[in-house]
Every structure is written in C-alpha cells, then in structure tokens.
Amino acid sequence: MPPIDVPQPEGWDEPLFLDHAGVAPLSRPAADAITAYARHACRQGYLDAGWYAEIESVRAATARFMGARLPDEIAFIPNTSTGLATVAEGLPWRRGDNAVITAVEYPANRYPWENLRRRGVELVEVPPLPDGRIDVEDVCEAITDRTRVVAISHVQYASGYRIALRPIADMVHQAGGYLCVDAIQGLGAVPFDVQVDHIDFAAADGHKWLLAPEGCGVLYCREDLIPLLHPPVVGWMCMVDHANYGDYRFELAENGRRFEPGSYNVPGVLALGASIKMLAEVGVETIWSRIDALTERIATGLLAKGYRLYSPRDDRTERSGIVVFDPPGSTPDPDSVVRALREQRIVIVKREGRLRVSPHFYNTEAQIDRLLGALPE
C-alpha cells in the first residue's frame, strides 16, 4: 500500500518519530489551528472570534468520529484521567458494588476505580494470559450481579493487545452494569464505534493517535446515562442556563456540558477538531489498513533479526498500532537500544521492560526499514 498523502509536520523526516502511543507530534492542521488562534487572540482577544461556534462544530465532528448518536453525548475534558474519574466518581455506587478491571491497565484506568474502595466498592482484577493477551471469557466470568462497571482499555499500552468489547458490553449489561472504555490507545488508529460495541462511557486524550495537543480530550457518555452521572467538579458552565450569570439556578445540563465545569481550553479544542476532521477525511478504515501494513513490516523484520514479539500478531482483530518486543539475548538491554536509536534520531520507547514501537499512517516503508536497519543484531 503506497504512503498516504496527508499534511505532515514540518521536518517530519528528522527525527523519525515512531512513538505515537506516547506523545505524538502535532498534525499540521492542529498546529495551524493553534497558530491561527494565537494570532487572533493576541490582536483582537475574543472580538469576532467565533470560537465557541467552532467548538460546537468540533463536538459534532468528534461524535461522528466515535460513532456517537448525538453531539450532546460528547464532553471536552483535560485528559483521559479526568474522563475516567468523572465516571468513577459520578456513578451512584452502593456499598458492596464492584468494578472489574484487568491487572495490566495503564494507571489512568486503575486509580480512579481503586479510589472507590473508600466508598465500599471492591476492585476485581482479571489477570492477563502468559502471552500478555486478556481472555474475553475471563473478563466476562468476573462479572457478577454486584458489578457496576467493567473498566477496560480498548488497546493495552504495554502489549498492544486489542480486546473485543462487544461481548463484554453485552455481559455487563445483562448484570445491570456499564462498560467504560479507556480509548486513548486506539482512537485514531483502529476502528472504534461506541454504538457498534454498546459502549456506555469512553474517554481519550488527543495527544496520541489523534495527533492533537496534550491537555484536551473527550468524554463520551451515552445520552440516557448523562442524568445518572453527577459531575465530580461543578462549575458555572455545567448549568442549563449558564450564560445568565446573575440568576443563580442550580440545574445541571443534561448533555455533555454537564461535565464541562468552566471555560474551555479553546486552542486545544480547536486543534483537536482540526486533527479529527483530517483523520475523518482520510477514513479510519484506510488509516487502520495502512498502520496494520506498517506494523506487519516491523514484525516481519524483527523476527528476521532474532527479536521476540510480545504483541499478538496471529489474529488481526487483536492487533493495534503498537508492536512490543524483546531484544535477542546477545543484544544490549532495552534502555541501551532506546538510547542508541535516539542518537540516530529514531524515537521508540521502553515500556514495562520491553521495547515499543508505534507508527502512524503517514510513516513510510523506507522509515520502517531505517528503524529495522538501525536495531542492533
């Protein structure tokens, strides 16, 4: 599959960035949106800006991108942690309820649920299989009539494993609970649809596969569940009549603004929207096909050099944009490999003792071959 001609950051070939599962470079549309905001703000402030109308356009674009039914199901949040904590703290818990997670979640999707122990909520951990995969049946078997939430990453940060969400959603719904998804390692790289997978809540920041800035993300909350969640942080913008400043009317909004307590990160939302619109124009299926081809090239090259793959490769539905691997026995330790590559301006990382590479759809075969050639034997 040939490279896709899309806007790229200036000087993209230097350095070679292959860590989109970390903090990715901004897309050119995102950078242009921030620049345009700054130019207008420094000259005219908010006069004739139209930013709040554009924010609603971004909300609608984000809803379409995630498969949400309505823009009202989307809230703009500072980061994934805030989104997950909004769900964890906002639900009406009963003592004796439990939350089911896996034992290999990124901390953002562990601590909000562990924090509920002070309210008498039990944390149930599902261990991974020896190969790092998570058995969907194991997750489903952990669900009981006391399970209020299953909180799980669509793609695991330390293995790249992508889990099938629909069976988990169906099981937890039968038990009277909800599915909350940490979507940050998949959104923008692999197909993701909240309606197809019957997802109740999902959160993601923009700084990974969405190619947007840190500090601005999205929270999806299914429309009928919005009144169920009491926002853990309440401010003036949460209210139905929020622009009527002098009329103090404590009535929480029943749309995504319910979880937006104060002023927006305007440049962040505008940049996020610019990237999402670019990615939507290319198409998620096209993006995923390209990423899958690049990661397959990486996996084949790694095996040829004697590296050991940790990420699942046999089942395409379990793959993601992340390839995790171990060096051969005679190769320097992972930290040394990362440092040696960084000296050559090639960016990968170590996670949980292993090497991790995560290309995006605009990377090229030549760049992948440059990485493979630079890896020590």
Domain locations along the chain: 29-281, 284-374
Q: What are phi and psi of 324, to 5 degrees?
A: -110, 140
Half-sphere exposure of 204 (CA within 13 A, CB side): 32
The candidate with the shortest Cα–Cα distance to 341, out of 12, 10, 19, is 19
Whether 81 and 88 have beta carbons less than 8 Å apart is answered as no
Give the burial class of 47: count Cβ atoms within 10 A of its Cβ; 0-12 exposed, 13-18 middle, 19 or more buried: exposed
CA–CA dist 194, 225 (Å, integer): 14
Q: What are phi and psi of 79, to 5 degrees?
A: -170, 175
Distance between first and last Cα of the chain: 28
Please name every residue paired with 17 in a beta bridge, in sequence order, or none if there are none: 347
CA–CA dist 69, 277 (Å, integer): 17
CA–CA dist 210, 213 (Å, integer): 9
User: Are β-strands 201-205 and 217-221 bridged in parallel, bridged antiparallel, or unpaired?
Assistant: antiparallel
Q: Position 108: which residue type?
A: A
Q: What single-letter DSSP state applies at residue 288?
A: H
**pLDDT at site 354:** 95
Residues with Cβ within 8 Å of residue 120, at least 6 apart in sequence? 93, 94, 95, 96, 97
Please give the C-alpha separations between residue 73 and each of 196, 274, 295, 340, 351, in angstroms, as whole numbers. 15, 20, 33, 45, 33
Q: Which CATH class is domain 29-281?
A: alpha beta
The candidate with the shortest Cα–Cα distance to 64, out of 280, 212, 258, is 280
Q: Position of tokens 């999902």?
A: 202
Please name every residue paired with 74 in a beta bridge, in sequence order, or none if there are none: 220
Q: What is the pLDDT along the chain (377 residues), one digit of tens a residue?
A: 344 444 454 444 568 999 999 999 999 999 999 999 999 999 998 888 899 999 999 999 999 999 999 999 999 999 999 999 999 999 999 999 999 999 999 999 999 999 999 999 999 999 999 988 999 999 999 999 999 999 999 999 999 999 999 999 999 999 999 999 999 999 999 999 999 999 999 999 999 999 999 999 999 999 999 999 999 999 999 999 999 999 999 999 999 999 999 999 999 999 999 999 999 999 999 999 999 999 999 999 999 999 999 999 999 999 999 999 999 887 778 999 999 999 999 999 999 999 999 999 999 999 999 999 999 98
Q: Does domain 284-374 have CATH number 3.90.1150.10?
A: yes
Structure tokens at 306: 């004697």
Whether 357 and 347 have beta carbons less than 8 Å apart is answered as no
Torsion 373-293-135-83 (CA) sign: positive
Please give the C-alpha separations between residue 33 and each of 75, 119, 273, in angstroms, as whole numbers. 20, 43, 9
pTM of the model: 0.94
One-character DSSP codes across 328-353? -TTSPPHHHHHHHHHHTTEE-EEETT
Whether 41 and 252 have beta carbons less than 8 Å apart is answered as no
CA–CA dist 156, 141 (Å, integer): 20
Whether 323 and 160 have beta carbons less than 8 Å apart is answered as yes
